[in-house]
Structure 1
Amino acid sequence: MDIQIHSVEELTNAAPQILEYAGTNRIFLFYGDMGAGKTTLIKALCAQLGVIDEVTSPTFSIVNEYKADGNTVYHFDFYRIKDHDEALDLGYEEYFFSDNYCFIEWPEKISALIPDQYTGVRIAVHDNALRVITVENI
Protein backbone atom coordinates (compact mmCIF):
# COMPACT_ATOMS: atom_id res chain seq x y z
CA MET A 1 0.00 0.00 0.00
CA ASP A 2 1.29 3.46 -0.90
CA ILE A 3 0.09 6.69 0.70
CA GLN A 4 1.09 10.05 -0.73
CA ILE A 5 1.16 13.09 1.51
CA HIS A 6 2.24 16.64 0.81
CA SER A 7 3.31 17.84 4.26
CA VAL A 8 4.59 16.41 7.52
CA GLU A 9 1.32 17.47 9.14
CA GLU A 10 -0.57 15.08 6.83
CA LEU A 11 1.24 12.13 8.41
CA THR A 12 -1.54 12.18 11.00
CA ASN A 13 -4.05 11.28 8.29
CA ALA A 14 -2.06 8.18 7.35
CA ALA A 15 -2.14 6.62 10.84
CA PRO A 16 -5.61 5.00 10.71
CA GLN A 17 -4.94 3.58 7.25
CA ILE A 18 -1.64 2.06 8.37
CA LEU A 19 -3.13 0.45 11.48
CA GLU A 20 -6.02 -0.97 9.49
CA TYR A 21 -3.69 -2.33 6.81
CA ALA A 22 -1.40 -3.92 9.44
CA GLY A 23 -4.28 -5.96 10.85
CA THR A 24 -3.02 -8.08 13.74
CA ASN A 25 0.67 -7.23 13.25
CA ARG A 26 2.08 -5.50 16.32
CA ILE A 27 5.68 -5.06 15.14
CA PHE A 28 6.24 -2.01 12.92
CA LEU A 29 9.59 -1.21 11.32
CA PHE A 30 10.12 2.39 10.20
CA TYR A 31 12.60 3.18 7.44
CA GLY A 32 13.49 6.60 6.12
CA ASP A 33 16.16 9.24 6.13
CA MET A 34 16.74 11.50 9.10
CA GLY A 35 13.92 14.07 9.10
CA ALA A 36 11.60 12.04 6.87
CA GLY A 37 8.88 12.00 9.53
CA LYS A 38 9.26 8.62 11.25
CA THR A 39 8.80 9.96 14.78
CA THR A 40 5.96 12.26 13.68
CA LEU A 41 4.17 9.29 12.12
CA ILE A 42 4.73 7.22 15.27
CA LYS A 43 3.21 10.05 17.32
CA ALA A 44 0.14 9.91 15.06
CA LEU A 45 -0.09 6.12 15.38
CA CYS A 46 0.18 6.37 19.16
CA ALA A 47 -2.59 8.99 19.24
CA GLN A 48 -4.75 6.72 17.09
CA LEU A 49 -4.18 3.91 19.61
CA GLY A 50 -5.24 6.13 22.50
CA VAL A 51 -1.88 7.17 23.95
CA ILE A 52 -2.33 10.39 25.89
CA ASP A 53 1.26 10.74 27.12
CA GLU A 54 3.70 12.91 25.20
CA VAL A 55 5.38 10.77 22.55
CA THR A 56 9.03 11.64 22.09
CA SER A 57 11.92 10.04 20.27
CA PRO A 58 13.79 7.56 22.48
CA THR A 59 17.11 8.48 20.85
CA PHE A 60 19.10 8.26 24.08
CA SER A 61 16.96 5.88 26.14
CA ILE A 62 16.52 3.49 23.14
CA VAL A 63 12.96 2.59 24.22
CA ASN A 64 10.00 4.56 25.53
CA GLU A 65 6.88 2.91 26.94
CA TYR A 66 3.41 4.42 26.56
CA LYS A 67 0.05 3.31 27.90
CA ALA A 68 -2.84 3.27 25.45
CA ASP A 69 -6.47 2.15 25.62
CA GLY A 70 -5.86 -1.28 27.12
CA ASN A 71 -2.52 -1.62 25.33
CA THR A 72 1.13 -0.88 25.91
CA VAL A 73 3.12 0.70 23.10
CA TYR A 74 6.91 0.44 22.92
CA HIS A 75 8.78 2.96 20.78
CA PHE A 76 12.37 2.08 19.90
CA ASP A 77 15.09 4.17 18.28
CA PHE A 78 18.15 2.06 17.48
CA TYR A 79 20.02 4.86 15.68
CA ARG A 80 22.73 5.16 18.34
CA ILE A 81 23.40 1.49 19.08
CA LYS A 82 26.75 0.15 17.99
CA ASP A 83 25.89 -3.54 17.56
CA HIS A 84 23.27 -6.23 18.18
CA ASP A 85 24.67 -6.91 21.65
CA GLU A 86 23.20 -3.63 22.91
CA ALA A 87 19.73 -4.77 21.80
CA LEU A 88 20.33 -8.14 23.43
CA ASP A 89 21.34 -6.41 26.68
CA LEU A 90 18.16 -4.35 26.48
CA GLY A 91 16.13 -7.59 26.50
CA TYR A 92 14.51 -6.85 23.15
CA GLU A 93 12.78 -10.27 23.04
CA GLU A 94 10.60 -9.39 26.04
CA TYR A 95 9.32 -6.39 24.10
CA PHE A 96 9.10 -7.85 20.59
CA PHE A 97 7.28 -11.01 21.68
CA SER A 98 5.00 -9.37 24.26
CA ASP A 99 2.08 -9.00 21.81
CA ASN A 100 2.19 -5.25 22.44
CA TYR A 101 2.72 -2.65 19.76
CA CYS A 102 6.41 -2.10 18.98
CA PHE A 103 7.31 0.85 16.77
CA ILE A 104 10.95 0.51 15.73
CA GLU A 105 13.00 3.29 14.17
CA TRP A 106 16.29 2.36 12.46
CA PRO A 107 15.57 -1.39 12.39
CA GLU A 108 18.42 -1.90 9.93
CA LYS A 109 20.75 -1.60 12.95
CA ILE A 110 19.27 -4.82 14.41
CA SER A 111 18.30 -6.64 11.21
CA ALA A 112 19.27 -10.09 12.54
CA LEU A 113 16.91 -9.68 15.50
CA ILE A 114 13.73 -8.72 13.65
CA PRO A 115 10.80 -11.14 14.06
CA ASP A 116 9.53 -12.98 10.98
CA GLN A 117 6.22 -11.13 10.90
CA TYR A 118 6.03 -7.34 10.89
CA THR A 119 4.67 -4.32 9.08
CA GLY A 120 7.32 -2.38 7.22
CA VAL A 121 6.77 1.37 6.82
CA ARG A 122 9.07 3.25 4.42
CA ILE A 123 8.92 7.01 4.15
CA ALA A 124 10.51 8.47 1.03
CA VAL A 125 10.82 12.24 0.69
CA HIS A 126 10.55 13.74 -2.78
CA ASP A 127 11.19 17.44 -3.45
CA ASN A 128 11.04 18.25 0.31
CA ALA A 129 7.23 18.26 0.23
CA LEU A 130 5.86 15.05 -1.25
CA ARG A 131 6.29 11.99 0.92
CA VAL A 132 5.41 8.49 -0.18
CA ILE A 133 4.71 6.06 2.63
CA THR A 134 4.96 2.45 1.53
CA VAL A 135 3.41 -0.04 3.94
CA GLU A 136 3.94 -3.76 3.56
CA ASN A 137 3.01 -6.72 5.76
CA ILE A 138 5.73 -9.36 5.95
Structure 2
Amino acid sequence: MEITFSLAEIDNAAQQILAQNIKKTILFHAGMGVGKTTFIKALARQLGVKDMTSSPTFSLVNEYETENGEILYHFDLYRINTEEEAYDMGLDEYFYSGNLCLIEWPEKTPNLIPIDHTSITIKQLPDGRRHLTVK
Protein backbone atom coordinates (compact mmCIF):
# COMPACT_ATOMS: atom_id res chain seq x y z
CA MET A 1 0.00 0.00 0.00
CA GLU A 2 1.21 3.49 -0.82
CA ILE A 3 -0.25 6.84 0.23
CA THR A 4 0.80 10.39 -0.60
CA PHE A 5 -0.54 13.06 1.73
CA SER A 6 -0.06 16.60 3.01
CA LEU A 7 0.09 17.41 6.70
CA ALA A 8 -3.53 18.62 6.41
CA GLU A 9 -4.45 15.09 5.23
CA ILE A 10 -2.44 13.18 7.83
CA ASP A 11 -5.42 12.01 9.89
CA ASN A 12 -7.06 10.55 6.79
CA ALA A 13 -3.79 8.76 5.92
CA ALA A 14 -3.62 7.36 9.46
CA GLN A 15 -7.20 6.07 9.13
CA GLN A 16 -6.27 4.35 5.88
CA ILE A 17 -3.34 2.58 7.55
CA LEU A 18 -5.44 1.44 10.49
CA ALA A 19 -8.05 0.04 8.08
CA GLN A 20 -5.41 -2.33 6.68
CA ASN A 21 -4.36 -5.67 8.11
CA ILE A 22 -1.43 -4.26 10.08
CA LYS A 23 0.56 -6.13 12.72
CA LYS A 24 0.87 -5.19 16.40
CA THR A 25 4.49 -4.14 15.82
CA ILE A 26 4.94 -1.31 13.34
CA LEU A 27 8.39 -0.13 12.30
CA PHE A 28 8.84 3.43 11.03
CA HIS A 29 11.68 4.10 8.60
CA ALA A 30 12.48 7.68 7.61
CA GLY A 31 15.24 10.23 7.91
CA MET A 32 15.50 12.73 10.71
CA GLY A 33 12.69 15.30 10.58
CA VAL A 34 10.61 13.56 7.90
CA GLY A 35 7.60 13.05 10.16
CA LYS A 36 7.72 9.70 11.96
CA THR A 37 6.57 11.14 15.28
CA THR A 38 3.96 13.33 13.61
CA PHE A 39 2.48 10.32 11.82
CA ILE A 40 2.54 8.23 15.00
CA LYS A 41 0.64 11.01 16.77
CA ALA A 42 -1.97 10.90 13.99
CA LEU A 43 -2.31 7.13 14.39
CA ALA A 44 -2.73 7.57 18.14
CA ARG A 45 -5.41 10.23 17.64
CA GLN A 46 -7.31 7.85 15.37
CA LEU A 47 -7.12 5.20 18.10
CA GLY A 48 -8.60 7.64 20.63
CA VAL A 49 -5.44 8.44 22.59
CA LYS A 50 -6.08 11.72 24.36
CA ASP A 51 -2.77 12.39 26.11
CA MET A 52 -0.24 12.03 23.25
CA THR A 53 2.05 14.97 23.84
CA SER A 54 5.69 14.23 23.08
CA SER A 55 8.26 12.07 21.39
CA PRO A 56 9.90 9.53 23.70
CA THR A 57 13.38 10.61 22.54
CA PHE A 58 14.74 10.85 26.07
CA SER A 59 12.57 8.25 27.82
CA LEU A 60 12.81 5.81 24.84
CA VAL A 61 9.21 4.68 25.33
CA ASN A 62 5.89 6.37 26.06
CA GLU A 63 2.81 4.39 27.05
CA TYR A 64 -0.70 5.49 26.11
CA GLU A 65 -4.18 4.07 26.46
CA THR A 66 -6.54 3.96 23.48
CA GLU A 67 -10.24 4.78 23.78
CA ASN A 68 -11.05 1.05 24.03
CA GLY A 69 -8.57 0.48 26.86
CA GLU A 70 -5.75 -1.06 24.84
CA ILE A 71 -2.13 -0.11 25.48
CA LEU A 72 -0.04 1.60 22.81
CA TYR A 73 3.75 1.85 23.17
CA HIS A 74 5.63 4.51 21.21
CA PHE A 75 9.39 3.93 20.98
CA ASP A 76 12.12 6.27 19.78
CA LEU A 77 15.31 4.18 19.67
CA TYR A 78 17.52 6.93 18.24
CA ARG A 79 19.58 7.22 21.45
CA ILE A 80 20.17 3.45 21.80
CA ASN A 81 23.88 2.72 21.31
CA THR A 82 23.84 -1.09 21.23
CA GLU A 83 21.31 -3.87 20.98
CA GLU A 84 22.60 -5.19 24.29
CA GLU A 85 21.66 -1.89 25.93
CA ALA A 86 18.12 -2.22 24.52
CA TYR A 87 17.90 -5.85 25.68
CA ASP A 88 19.10 -4.93 29.19
CA MET A 89 16.36 -2.30 29.35
CA GLY A 90 13.76 -4.96 28.57
CA LEU A 91 12.64 -3.52 25.25
CA ASP A 92 12.08 -6.99 23.82
CA GLU A 93 9.46 -7.61 26.53
CA TYR A 94 7.49 -4.62 25.23
CA PHE A 95 7.88 -5.81 21.63
CA TYR A 96 6.44 -9.25 22.47
CA SER A 97 3.77 -7.98 24.90
CA GLY A 98 0.93 -8.31 22.39
CA ASN A 99 0.28 -4.57 22.65
CA LEU A 100 0.58 -2.16 19.77
CA CYS A 101 4.24 -1.09 19.44
CA LEU A 102 5.12 1.84 17.18
CA ILE A 103 8.90 1.93 16.78
CA GLU A 104 11.00 4.78 15.40
CA TRP A 105 14.61 3.92 14.42
CA PRO A 106 14.07 0.12 14.51
CA GLU A 107 17.37 -0.40 12.70
CA LYS A 108 19.04 0.20 16.10
CA THR A 109 17.68 -3.16 17.38
CA PRO A 110 17.27 -5.43 14.32
CA ASN A 111 17.63 -8.70 16.26
CA LEU A 112 15.00 -7.74 18.87
CA ILE A 113 12.22 -6.83 16.42
CA PRO A 114 9.49 -9.48 16.08
CA ILE A 115 9.49 -11.25 12.72
CA ASP A 116 5.74 -10.60 12.44
CA HIS A 117 5.66 -6.82 11.91
CA THR A 118 4.52 -4.10 9.55
CA SER A 119 7.06 -1.67 8.06
CA ILE A 120 6.19 1.88 7.12
CA THR A 121 8.63 4.00 5.13
CA ILE A 122 8.03 7.74 4.92
CA LYS A 123 9.70 10.00 2.37
CA GLN A 124 9.33 13.75 2.11
CA LEU A 125 8.52 14.98 -1.39
CA PRO A 126 9.87 18.26 -2.83
CA ASP A 127 6.42 19.87 -2.48
CA GLY A 128 6.33 19.09 1.27
CA ARG A 129 3.89 16.20 1.03
CA ARG A 130 4.84 12.78 2.38
CA HIS A 131 4.88 9.49 0.52
CA LEU A 132 4.23 6.50 2.77
CA THR A 133 4.81 2.87 1.82
CA VAL A 134 3.43 0.00 3.93
CA LYS A 135 4.88 -3.51 3.77
TM-score by length of 1: 0.91
Query: What is the RMSD of the two structures over their aligned residues, measured on CA atoms?
Result: 1.2
- The aligned counterpart of 2:92 is 93
Matching residue's letter, 2:106: P
Q: Residues of 2 paired with 1:128 and 1:60: CA distance?
A: 31
Q: Aligned runs of 1:95-110 on 2, under 5 Å?
A: 95-110=94-109
Runs ≥4 residues deviating over 3 A: none
Alignment of 1:46 with 2:49, yes or no, is: no
Q: Residues of 1 paired with 2:63 and 2:75: CA distance?
A: 9
Q: Residues of 1 paired with 2:94 and 2:134: CA distance?
A: 22
Q: Residues of 1 paired with 2:49 and 2:42: CA distance?
A: 10
Check whether the contact 2:29–2:105 (CA below 8 A) recurs between aligned residues.
yes
User: Which ranges of structure 2 fall in alignment gaps of 5 or more residues?
Assistant: none
User: Which ranges of structure 1 fall in alignment gaps of 5 or more residues?
Assistant: none
Please give the secondary structure, in 2, of the residue aligned with 1:44: helix
1:102 Cα deviation from its structure 2 partner: 0.2
Q: Residues of 2 paired with 1:62 and 1:43: CA distance?
A: 16
- Deviation track 1:82-114 (CA, whole Å, cap 9, x = no partner) reads 010121022112211111100000001111111
Identity %: 51
- The aligned counterpart of 1:55 is 53
- The aligned counterpart of 1:12 is 11
Count of residues paired in the alignment: 134
- The aligned counterpart of 1:3 is 3
- Deviation track 1:29-65 (CA, whole Å, cap 9, x = no partner) reads 0000111111011001111111111231100100000
Relative to 1, partners in 2 of residues 1:28 and 1:99: Cα closer, same or farther, differing over 3 Å?
same
1:72 Cα deviation from its structure 2 partner: 0.3
Check whether the contact 1:65–1:75 (CA below 8 A) recurs between aligned residues.
yes
1:128 Cα deviation from its structure 2 partner: 4.7
Relative to 1, partners in 2 of residues 1:3 and 1:83: Cα closer, same or farther, differing over 3 Å?
same
Check whether the contact 2:92–2:113 (CA below 8 A) recurs between aligned residues.
no
